[in-house]
Amino acid sequence: MKPIATPDHLARVRYEIRGPLARRAYEIERQGHEVIKLNIGNPALFGFHMPDALRDAVAEHLPQSDGYCHQKGIVQAREAVAADMAARGVAGVDVDDVFMGNGVSELILMTLEALLRPGDEVLLPAPDYPLWTAAVALTGATPVYYACPESRGFVPDPDELDRLVTPRCRAIVMINPNNPTGAVYPASVVRAIARVAERHELVLFSDEIYDRILYDGAAHEPAARHCTETLCATFGGLSKVYRACGLRTGWVVFSGRRGPAAKYLQAVELLASLRLCANVPGQWAVAPALARDQGIAALTSPDGRLGRQRAAVLEGVGRSRHLRVVAPSGALYAFVASHTPGFDDERFAMDLLERERVLVVPGSSFNIDDRTYFRVTLLPDPDTMAEVFVRIERLLDG
């Protein structure tokens, strides 16, 4: 049999978070070795659990979850999301503006597939969460990156972004709080990016899955609060803030100018219909999740578990002769850099795995050319995190 060829556009699709390094880590574990995995933001692997109210809601409604629901999702979940948007200052959102999905990942793929044609362009942050680049590439469109450099705290310059817009551009993607850097954009930057989208009549896709995971008094500014003269799509879900990755329950909320976007929204609904519906049991957890804080503020406080683990990362970097980091203001990651001469992120990540049994993600896999960064999660306990940086230092001292 001849080798089965793959399409050219897959050359732009990367996901090193679960790529060759993760596969090698699995092989090492099968050989009987323990690996400290800092590659993925999966809270359950580190002893975090969804709040009891979410689990109880799923269990209580299992008898009502045997069949398909509406292609947009169950009404109770969509009403809760719409109410949450209103409480956060986003006007005019109702239940029909909300689509539930099998996690935000499915909705990213769906909403871009409904919009893009080959030759279109989408503005993406660099570094970005690689699913966004992959989703653009799968449509045949072209990712165009706007820089979010360390020198600006990984925050973009809206004027630079504005200069990148061409007649082929269809959308802007904003990831705030940011994965992989942990940057939380100032309200002035969010407003300015919304103005760029409005001025050029672009769709603004705002990935806000980490919106309530904030440190040191950082405040998250919803993009939809400011984007009213074009279409805005805001993404959220249960995976991170509510520690319920396995429920695979996410949502996208459309706000702003929906009238001119009617055919696009019909296309999104068509794609939602093709996959029939999102996971029904998980949707019952949305209303209780959004009804209250559900413990995230206590976790991210300085003496909370995430706050202490973030501090352990900063202390580990601070003790290093080789590393530096911009303290993350949100999300579950730190984007660490090395100033060691000759440092190569992919070689370092493989050596760290093979020699020290620690799994991290090379920074270049987040679609930047700079090969001096790597991403770690903030999820391990402080003692484990301290041990990680001992091992990193030992390797770099090599």
**Per-residue model confidence as pLDDT tens for the chain (398 residues):** 888 888 887 777 777 777 888 899 999 999 999 999 999 899 999 999 999 999 999 999 999 999 999 999 999 999 999 999 999 999 899 999 999 999 999 999 999 999 999 999 999 999 999 999 999 999 999 999 999 999 999 999 999 999 999 999 999 999 999 999 999 999 999 999 999 999 999 999 999 999 999 999 999 999 999 999 999 999 999 999 999 999 999 999 999 999 999 999 999 999 999 999 999 999 999 999 999 889 999 999 999 999 999 999 999 999 999 999 999 999 999 999 999 999 999 999 999 999 999 999 999 999 999 999 999 999 999 999 999 999 999 999 98
Q: Which residues contact 186 (CB under 8 A, 6 or more apart)?
A: 155, 221
pTM over 0.75: yes
Give me the helices (H) in 203-361, please. 262-274, 280-283, 286-291, 296-300, 305-319, 345-356
Q: What's the number of CA atoms in the CB half-sphere (13 Å) around residue 4?
A: 0
CA distances from 286 to 85, 92, 149, 201 (A): 13, 20, 35, 32
Residue 188 and residue 92: Cα distance in Å, rounded? 23
Fold of 8-49+297-397: Aspartate Aminotransferase, domain 1 (3.90.1150)
Cis peptide before 362 (omega within 30 of 0): no
Q: Domain map of the chain by residue range?
A: 8-49+297-397, 52-291
- Is the domain spanning 52-291 CATH 3.90.1150.10? The answer is no
